[in-house]
């Protein structure tokens, strides 16, 4: 289903300086092998909760989706960060490109899916005009139930719904939030709005295979049992095989060694598939937000963590490869490629030398060759890279891919010695927003901000 090819990081391919020698890699695999056991042991104590998501009961989600999906023209997810990125990843990977432009018939009666993950006025207004709110189910998603941006989007949406739908507006809402607490839970209970519970122990950015990602997926006809089946296959492989052939462990280890020992503090994830563009953005959240930490688990100040960039092949060969090949050698590039596609397009012959080498070949073949050529050019410039290869894009393989990278993140947490399930560095900004918006109890923040921020006119330059 998935294979990882690490050849292009090795000494005998890359030469000295930017490579990992085989003995070095074998030793590192041996030396850190205990973390594979640790993760599985801690799992039994209820940590790493995302690991058990493949085995959850999804009957409730499926029956809700069956009963409701085809009643609506549109699903709109109101959510931000982990509440949005998972749903977008599943939409882009598993529904046809330009899905929201297809007719209802082409969509087999399933609704369109929009993800509103910002508080942008122009975007919000345009969306509420493009859809008919009466024929839309708004899935409001926030684990805490207190996310400012999501509440803001909900408030604006409520204004429109009450005006256009009237008393029955509650039927156009479904909430995904904590079982017991938070604004969204109180709102759902008080208003009698249908709701789903988030799994308490599963953090937002690990939530794609929980109710957070699965509900919108099921509503557009994605087979969520198959997603979980793919994830379970990875879990099973990892549990039953040794560290030497545990690809998630080795992947985390290689990333870590390059960051900490080989001055490659930027990790590029570059799928060669338009359908995996959102996947790369999802990874750009989960990996650095889990690992970039001021304090390690011994409370030592460390300021560690990889910076992740997302890129897209073949497109970004024309925007990023000059940098990757000739800029500072500070990146490890992770390619994702897809071996086969059902969408075969053949290039016809034209009477011209410049194009004749393309004649009769498929677009997909060209895509795979461009990836191979790019990896080769990087090797020539001694830029380390490795490849994750999917046989095909399917519910199983995408479930596996997402679970795989969550697991890589958990292993990397062990290697960086940080808690991959918190995000203390976003609190200051949240408190400052509350202060500046005049929320009660945040008066001190306003004074701090006024003192800290300079508006020295000499350094404000106008055109």
Decide: is 215 part of the binding site for a second copy (CB under 8 A): no
Binding flags for a second copy, 285-304, as an x/- string (CB under 8 A): x--xx--xxx--------xx
Reply yes or no on whether 3 is catalytic: no
Strand partners of residue 114: 76
* Strand residue runs (E) in 273-379: 293-295, 301-304, 307-310, 331-338
Near a second copy by CB under 8 A: residue from 97, 239, 443, 444: 97
Between strands 2-5 and 385-390, the pairing is antiparallel
Spatial neighbors of 118 by CB under 8 A, at least 6 apart, are 80, 124, 149
Q: Site residues for a second copy, window 32-61 (CB under 8 A)?
A: none
Question: What would the x/- binding string for a second copy be over residues 346 to 365, using CB under 8 A?
Answer: xxx-x-x-xx-xxx-xxxx-
Element spanning 77, H or E = strand 74-78
**CB neighbour class for 424 (10 Å; exposed up to 12, middle 13-18, buried from 19):** exposed
Structural contact between residues 437 and 280, judged by C-beta atoms closer than 8 angstroms = no
Sorted by sequence, the CB contacts under 8 Å of residue 284 that are 6+ apart come out as 269, 308, 309, 310
- Least distance from a second copy to the Cβ atom of residue 394, Å: 13
Nearer to a second copy, 91 or 250 (CB): 250
Given 275, 385, 394, 406, the residue binding a second copy (CB under 8 A)? 275
At closest approach, how far in Å is the CB of 264 from a second copy?
A: 12
Q: CA–CA separation, 411 vs 353, rounded Å?
A: 51
Sign of CA dihedral 44, 48, 49, 55: negative
From 53-61, 62-70, 132-140, 375-383, give the range in contact with a second copy by CB under 8 A. 375-383
DSSP letters for 211-266: HHHHHHHHHTT--HHHHHHHHHHHHHHHHHS-GGG-HHHHHHHHHHHHHHHSS--E
Q: Which of 132, 315, 339, 443 binds a second copy (CB under 8 A)?
A: 315
146 near a second copy (CB under 8 A): yes
Stretch that binds a second copy, among 38-46, 62-70, 194-202, 312-320 (CB under 8 A): 312-320
| In the complex, least distance from residue 351 CB atom to a second copy, rounded to whole angstroms | 8
Q: Is 237 in the site for a second copy (CB under 8 A)?
A: yes
- Compute the distance between CA of residue 361 and CA of residue 329 in angstroms, rounded to an integer: 35
- Residue closer to a second copy, measured from CB, 62 or 296: 296
**Residue 89 within binding range of a second copy, rule CB under 8 A:** no
Give 67 or 122: the residue with its C-beta nearer to a second copy: 122
Q: Does 62 bind a second copy (CB under 8 A)?
A: no
Considering only the stretches 64-72, 207-215, 221-229, 425-433, report the one whose residues sit in contact with a second copy under the rule CB under 8 A: 425-433
Inter-helix orientation angle 82-94/211-219, to 10°: 40
44, 300, 318, 457: the active-site residue? 318
- Rounded CA separation 108/333 (Å): 38
Q: How many residues bind a second copy (CB under 8 A)?
A: 153
Q: Does the active-site annotation cover 364?
A: no
* Positive/negative CA dihedral, 355, 359, 364, 370: negative
Alpha-carbon distance 74 to 131, whole Å? Answer: 7
159 binds a second copy (CB under 8 A): yes
d(CA 152, CA 418): 33
DSSP 440: T
Q: What's the length of the chain?
A: 463
Stretch that binds a second copy, among 44-52, 64-72, 219-227, 421-429 (CB under 8 A): 421-429
Q: Is 23 in the site for a second copy (CB under 8 A)?
A: no
Least Å distance, CB 58 to a second copy, is 22
- Kindly state whether residue 19 participates in binding a second copy, applying the rule CB under 8 A: no
27 binds a second copy (CB under 8 A): no
Q: Is 459 in the site for a second copy (CB under 8 A)?
A: yes
Set 289, 337, 396, 445: catalytic member: 289
Binding a second copy by CB under 8 A: which of 52, 341, 417, 419?
A: 341
Q: In the annotation, is 318 catalytic?
A: yes
CB closer to a second copy, 104 vs 359: 359
CB hemisphere CA count around 234 (13 angstroms) = 31
List 29, 51, 90, 149, residue binding a second copy (CB under 8 A): 149
Binding of a second copy by 452 (CB under 8 A): yes
Kindly state whether residue 125 participates in binding a second copy, applying the rule CB under 8 A.
yes
Helix (H, G, I), strand (E, B) or coil at 404: helix
Q: Which residues are designated catalytic?
A: 289, 318, 430
């Amino acid at each position: 289903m998935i294979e990882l090819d690490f050849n292009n990081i090795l000494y005998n391919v890359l030469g000295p300086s930017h490579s990992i020698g085989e003995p070095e890699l074998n030793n590192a695999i041996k030396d850190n092998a205990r973390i594979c056991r640790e993760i599985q042991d801690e799992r039994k104590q209820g940590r790493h909760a995302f690991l058990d998501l493949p085995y959850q009961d999804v009957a409730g989600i499926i029956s809700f989706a069956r009963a409701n999906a085809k009643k609506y023209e549109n699903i709109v997810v109101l959510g931000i960060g982990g509440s949005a990125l998972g749903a977008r990843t599943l939409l882009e990977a598993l529904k046809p490109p330009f899905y929201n432009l297809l007719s209802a018939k082409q969509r087999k009666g399933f609704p369109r899916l929009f993800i509103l993950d910002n508080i942008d006025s122009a975007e919000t207004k345009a969306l509420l005009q493009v859809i008919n709110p009466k024929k839309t189910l708004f899935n409001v998603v926030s684990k805490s139930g207190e996310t400012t941006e999501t509440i803001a989007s909900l408030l604006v949406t409520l204004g429109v719904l009450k005006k256009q739908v009237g008393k029955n507006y509650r039927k156009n809402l479904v909430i995904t939030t904590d079982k017991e607490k938070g604004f969204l839970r109180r709102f759902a209970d008080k208003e009698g709005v249908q709701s789903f519970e988030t799994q308490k122990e599963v953090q937002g950015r690990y939530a794609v295979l929980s109710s957070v990602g699965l509900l919108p997926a099921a509503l557009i006809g994605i087979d969520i049992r198959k997603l979980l089946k793919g994830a379970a296959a990875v879990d099973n492989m990892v549990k039953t095989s040794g560290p030497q052939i545990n690809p998630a462990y080795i992947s985390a280890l290689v990333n870590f060694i390059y960051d900490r020992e080989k001055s490659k503090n930027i990790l590029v994830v570059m799928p060669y598939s338009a359908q995996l563009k959102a996947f790369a953005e999802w990874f750009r959240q989960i990996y650095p937000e889990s690992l970039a930490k001021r304090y390690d688990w011994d409370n030592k100040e460390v300021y560690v963590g990889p910076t992740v960039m997302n890129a897209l092949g073949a497109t970004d060969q024309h925007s990023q490869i000059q940098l990757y090949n000739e800029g500072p050698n500070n990146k490890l590039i992770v390619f994702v490629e897809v071996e086969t596609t059902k969408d075969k397009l053949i290039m016809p012959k034209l009477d011209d030398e410049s194009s004749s080498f393309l004649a009769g070949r498929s677009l997909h073949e060209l895509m795979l060759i461009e990836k191979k050529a790019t990896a080769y050019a990087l090797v020539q410039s001694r830029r380390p890279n490795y490849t994750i290869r999917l046989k095909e894009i399917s519910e199983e393989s995408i479930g596996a891919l997402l679970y795989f990278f969550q697991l890589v993140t958990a292993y990397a947490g062990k290697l960086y010695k940080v808690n991959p399930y918190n995000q203390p560095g976003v609190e200051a900004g949240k408190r400052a927003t509350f202060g500046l918006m005049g929320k009660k109890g945040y008066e001190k923040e306003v004074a701090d901000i006024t003192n800290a921020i300079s508006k020295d006119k000499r350094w404000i330059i106008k055109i």
